[in-house]
Structure 1
Amino acid sequence: MARPAPRESHLAGTLPASVGGFGRRSLLRGALGVGALGAAGMLTACGDDGGSGSGASAKAGNVKFGINEAKGSGPANERLQAMADAYAKKAGVTVSVNAVDHNTFQESITTYLQGSPDDVFTWFAGYRMAQFAEGGQIADVSDVWPLDGIGDAFKKASTAADGKQYFVPVSYYPWAVFHRKSVFEKNGWTQPTTMDELTELMKEMQGKKMTPFAFAAKDAWAPMGTFDILNMRLNGFDFHMALTKGEKTWDSPEVRNVFSTWKTLLPYHQENSLGRTWQEAATSMAKGECGMYLLGTFVVDGVPTEAQEDLDFFTFPALDQTIGADALDAPIDGFCVASGAQDEEAGKAFITWLASAEAADAANNSASAPFIAANSAASTAKYGELQKKSVEVVQNAKSIAQFLDRDTNADLANTVITASLQEFIKKPDSIDSITTSIQQQAKSILG
């Protein structure tokens, strides 16, 4: 892959030529997390009220901030807390942080928004955001746009079907195949560029009593990354997106071929994945028990600090040379204002700042691992080679998906597909019945 000329301070926020349904220089749509609110520790509103204003010029006020990373969970929580602290100090207000673990946050989000939500909450771009916009659960924040340092591609990913913006971006990250450089160097391995080379590498790893791929499925969303990349490699990006919209069928020969191909790869993956979290799988790779791991760049949050600089990655190779390997998942994270917020205007003032380069710098300067900032003016001083390479890979990708559970209907993704992928992992010979079942439910849900 040809590297672009190095740039001191503008690596962040540049996106690839073609990203999703918006065509070149634009981004895709995602999907929505659903679930029920219940036991203590789940998503609830908290904090003080206050503040007034409107639009980009809204006056700062006390604000409640719901985040999808529990306290002590690692760099992701550190970054969000640092942003909250920096804003509180700058604006002279109170930011009450309601920190909840990631899975609980996503599973509880619908009930949370229907109750007494925090003013601002962490969420995702695209279809996942658009569903809440259509349902009236998040506020129109068009008046905070345009945002300095945030390009048109991000604006399109923040726009719902009514042409209004309901989201501001903060970061993005590609999914790829990660590994430890030192492990590859010790064994004389090089990054594979073809499926034949990857297959040979996997066999060599097994020959050295190393599991080729770390794999986790206890977090029900995690296997979606494998499905996404295989579907885009075998059937192409356009087919993949048409499938998420219900324009292609889950029981088609094309989708069954994805599962058949996946079945041949399962023996190269960690066993007992249904009882393993993604962090535990990341630890297996960090320890050298597994050679590789298909995940997002947030994998750095799951490995020891001393292993983070030893990480490298490559994009999953082509499975069909007529389709190639220029599509990948690169989800966008950011923030929404709840329409049920007690202080919507203070929330708008807060998210305007959260999208700034200053906010990104506050986050990255205070965490043990940086994110890749959406704001093009954000400092890259904390970026390691992993972050710089991530920006390059996204720049050079032809097509970008958000992720399966962000690219399709919430009910389909979180009540049907997750369970079906876990069922496939348990019973890989049941492809026909599994895909038939998904399609029957997809037809009912998508209409």
Structure 2
Amino acid sequence: MGTGPSPTRRNLLRGVAAGAGLAAVSGGLLTACGSSSSDKDKDTKASGGATDSVAGSTVTFGSNYSDPAVKSAFAALTTSATASTKAKITINTVDHDTFQQNITSYLQGTPDDLFTWFAGYRMQYFAAQGLAQPIDDVWEKIGSSFSPAAKSLSTGLDGHQYLVPIYNYPWVVFYNKSQFAAKGYSVPTTWDDYVALAKKMKADGITPIAFADKDGWPALGTFDILNMRINGYDYHSKLMKHQVPWTDQGVHTVFQHWAEIMPYMQSGANGRIWQDSVKLLEDKQAGMMFQGTNQVAAQYVSDKANLDDLDFFPFPAVNPQWGQDYMDAPTDGFMLSKKAKNTDAAKAVLEYIGTGAAESEYLKTDQWDVGLVSGLQVPTYNAIQKKSVVEIGKCKAVAQFMDRDADPAMANAMISIIQKFIDDPSTGNIASLQKSAEAQAKAIYS
């Protein structure tokens, strides 16, 4: 069906940089000042309280929060939601990648009342297929707690709201401070510095860049950042909508730069899960790793590694015209299934989740994401989270990640194409893969 990107989606995604970033910065500043929650937030929290039709009833929640760290944070959130609404919540957890691969058949079958999902186009896509219920009435109660950009990322192509966001997180280059200090490494800010550092690490017997792509989606982030660093945000947005052909020279330049650093990236990526690459970084056998805080920092927490030693820097500038102005900073949240059996109680849970109290409860356990409620108080933010707020706030625009910004079928096609590139990054293969991408894009977007 016609679920192509909205003509206004570029503006929608551009707006989240200011909205998500400023909302998070606001939370950080207000935390430092020790201000109290607003009356509106208190009223919203109260609206999620127990009613005769909600108290004692059961809400089922389909979750892709399968990794130990995020699973614990989600359990804390749902426990606090039960305390507020008096509704019992049953969580059905499925492996993250399995959940994502089977989401369509899941929603068409017998889904849970609520389910974890992603903001932006990925939300819009399933809302447009009639697989989710609009929750405008929930947003009438929680809307004052969020920025206009956060609301836009929760809004379907039909203008109705379908998602309650909970957090976002940056994709950045991670490293261990102690290793950089011991080796005398400096944080690179330009492409030439980045390549030079990778060469130095390799000479020192260290894998310069930990890298894994067995799950398919992690490498999409590397394409995204190179595309935004080389060609800019607008080009990235147009490419995701197929307003720029995949055979364009700009795409070729992205793959050429990627090929330049392939000798310094961990080999055998297509057969390795990202958790194993994080362990290589933890053990200081790798010097850097480009991925989201939602994965790298969360894995450090799960492995009880030294989170205080972990640090990051924005991906270095490639084209001076764009510098370090953009990044992927995906927003995650929760949606109401079209086939939900307990809609009233599910909406009560969503109303609670859309409060500062709920986000604070979640972030007591989550040590890697940053919240989106305006004026959020999070006294538990660590150095990674505080820096995430700052770096997201610096961006002129943020993207939501290729498998969220593009048509899902195109994102899946690019997973296969990029894995073929990883196996053979030669110039001739790049040209062949571009032609394949364009042929599939023409079929998908037509």
Q: CA deviation at 1:131?
A: 0.6
Q: Distance in 1 between matches of 2:59 and 2:16?
A: 37
Match for residue 134 of structure 2? 140
Is 1:413 the counterpart of 2:419? The answer is no
Match for residue 78 of structure 1? 72
Match for residue 299 of structure 2? 302
Match for residue 380 of structure 2? 382
Is 1:323 the counterpart of 2:322? The answer is yes
Structure 1 counterpart SS, 2:243 = coil
Match for residue 20 of structure 1? 13
Q: Percent identity?
A: 38
Q: Distance in 1 between matches of 2:218 and 2:242?
A: 22
Give runs of aligned pairs for residues 33-72 of structure 1, distance below 5 A: 59=51, 60=54, 61-70=57-66
Q: Distance in 2 between matches of 1:145 and 1:58?
A: 18
- Per-residue CA deviations over 1:319-365 (Å, capped at 9, x if unaligned) read 11122221100000000000111122221111111122221222233
Structure 2 counterpart SS, 1:69 = coil
Match for residue 421 of structure 2? 424
Query: Given residue 347 of structure 2, which amino acid in structure 1 is its aligned partner?
Result: K
Match for residue 32 of structure 2? none
Match for residue 393 of structure 1? 391
TM-score (structure 1 length as normaliser): 0.86
Change (3 A) 1:246 1:162: same
Change (3 A) 1:370 1:393: closer
Is 1:271 the counterpart of 2:234? The answer is no
2:277 equivalent among 277, 281, 298: 281
1:102 equivalent among 96, 103, 107: 96
Q: Distance in 1 between matches of 2:18 and 2:282?
A: 35
Q: CA deviation at 1:428?
A: 1.2
Q: Distance in 2 between matches of 1:21 and 1:108?
A: 29
Larger mean CA deviation between 397-406 and 426-435 belongs to 426-435
Change (3 A) 1:370 1:323: closer
Structure 2 counterpart SS, 1:436 = helix
More helix by share: 2
Structure 1 counterpart SS, 2:444 = helix
1:177 equivalent among 173, 177, 193: 173
Structure 1 counterpart SS, 2:188 = coil
Match for residue 43 of structure 2? none
Q: Distance in 1 between matches of 2:253 and 2:195?
A: 18
CA RMSD of aligned residues (A): 1.9
Change (3 A) 1:362 1:23: closer
Asked if the contact 1:19–1:25 (Cα under 8 Å) also holds between the matched residues in 2, the reply is: no
Give runs of aligned pairs for residues 220-299 of structure 1, distance below 5 A: 220-298=216-294, 299=296
Is 1:89 the counterpart of 2:87? The answer is no
Query: Given residue 208 of structure 2, which amino acid in structure 1 is its aligned partner?
Result: P
Q: Distance in 1 between matches of 2:91 and 2:436?
A: 41
Match for residue 160 of structure 1? 156
TM-score (structure 2 length as normaliser): 0.86
Q: Distance in 2 between matches of 1:352 and 1:293?
A: 37
1:214 equivalent among 182, 205, 210: 210
Structure 1 counterpart SS, 2:18 = coil
Q: CA deviation at 1:90?
A: 2.8
Asked if the contact 1:305–1:368 (Cα under 8 Å) also holds between the matched residues in 2, the reply is: no
Match for residue 311 of structure 1? 310
Query: Given residue 398 of structure 1, which amino acid in structure 2 is its aligned partner?
Result: K
Asked if the contact 2:18–2:393 (Cα under 8 Å) also holds between the matched residues in 1, the reply is: no
Q: Distance in 2 between matches of 1:22 and 1:314?
A: 23
Asked if the contact 2:17–2:398 (Cα under 8 Å) also holds between the matched residues in 1, the reply is: no
Q: CA deviation at 1:24?
A: 7.1
Q: Distance in 2 between matches of 1:23 and 1:386?
A: 20
Structure 2 counterpart SS, 1:196 = helix
Change (3 A) 1:75 1:243: same
Q: Which runs of 5+ in 2 are unaligned?
A: 1-10, 22-46
Change (3 A) 1:245 1:57: farther
Is 1:197 the counterpart of 2:215? The answer is no
Query: Given residue 120 of structure 1, which amino acid in structure 2 is its aligned partner?
Result: L
Is 1:126 the counterpart of 2:120? The answer is yes
Q: Distance in 1 between matches of 2:19 and 2:368?
A: 24
Structure 2 counterpart SS, 1:383 = coil
1:403 equivalent among 378, 401, 404: 401
Q: Distance in 1 between matches of 2:356 and 2:424?
A: 47
Q: Which runs of 5+ in 1 are unaligned?
A: 1-17, 29-54
